[in-house]
Chains A and B, each alone.
Chain A
């Protein structure tokens, strides 16, 4: 089946340091997977951070970037300089493109704490 594996947390980083959260996927039932990063801030629901639907492309939002690498089946999340407000839980997810199947397969989530 489809699966997503991401960096196990918790991850603690100092403010202004760089961040990478690893994500690899296995898409056995999806011909053209779409890849997503969602973020959940304390007390809130998940919200989309960025998505990429084409292999080789990069998505970016709020200073975060992720490149869809089909060869290595990876979609790592990076940020050059984190802020305390980035403290949250980050989820990598895999989805279908087209058709009627809108199911997403999520990773376990990575809790990020940014210390000042």
Chain B
């Protein structure tokens, strides 16, 4: 069954810490996305990718790096974590939009707390 998985599901770190969030999709999709979800803001796009080795900057990229190592795997890196990055992070994948639009398939989320 096609799926998007994320790890870890929960993470606590300290200010200045180094965090890597992982995402794997088995949908054979070319496109992958990282979002953060905060109360009062909805989902905001951090980075996205059109394929292995490709990286596109989203709407709220500051403080985040990302790397797409394979078609399946997309990583979000916080090299100097700050309390403002405490959030719920979602990964998603999709096909190109085509004429019918592109449904995005989401992982279950990673809750990150930066103390």
Chain A interface residues toward B at CB < 8 A: 4, 34, 36, 38, 43-48, 51, 53, 91, 95-104, 106-109
For the complex, is B43 an interface residue (Cβ under 8 Å from A)?
yes
A97 touches B99 (CB 8 A): yes
Complex CA distance for A46 and B94, rounded to whole angstroms: 13
A102 touches B42 (CB 8 A): no
Q: A34-B101, A102-B104 are in contact. List 13 more A-B contacts (CB 8 A).
A: A4-B42, A34-B100, A45-B92, A53-B100, A96-B97, A96-B102, A97-B97, A98-B97, A98-B98, A100-B97, A101-B97, A104-B102, A106-B42
Partner of A45, one of B94, B95, B96, B108: B108
What's the minimum C-beta distance from A113 to chain B, rounded to whole angstroms? 15
What are the 3 closest A-B residue pairs judged by CB atoms, nearest first? Answer: A45-B106, A34-B101, A108-B42
What's the minimum C-beta distance from B59 to chain A, rounded to whole angstroms? 9
Chain B interface residues toward A at CB < 8 A: 4, 31, 37, 40-45, 48, 50, 58, 90, 92, 94-109
- Nearest opposing residue in chain A for B9, CB measure: A43
A108 touches B31 (CB 8 A): no
Query: With a CB–CB cut-off of 8 A, which chain B residues contact A43?
Result: 108
What is the predominant secondary structure among interface residues of chain A facing chain B? loop
Known contacts A45-B4, A45-B90; decide if A95 and B42 are in contact (CB<8 Å).
Answer: no
Query: With a CB–CB cut-off of 8 A, which chain A residues contact B108?
Result: 43-45
Partner of A95, one of B4, B43, B102: B102
B45 touches A103 (CB 8 A): yes
Complex CA distance for A81 and B66, rounded to whole angstroms: 43
B102 touches A102 (CB 8 A): yes
Complex CA distance for A106 and B37, rounded to whole angstroms: 10
Partner of B42, one of A47, A97, A109: A109
Complex CA distance for A100 and B56, rounded to whole angstroms: 12
Query: With a CB–CB cut-off of 8 A, which chain A residues contact B106?
Result: 38, 45-47
Query: With a CB–CB cut-off of 8 A, which chain B residues contact A107?
Result: 42
Complex CA distance for A18 and B43, rounded to whole angstroms: 27
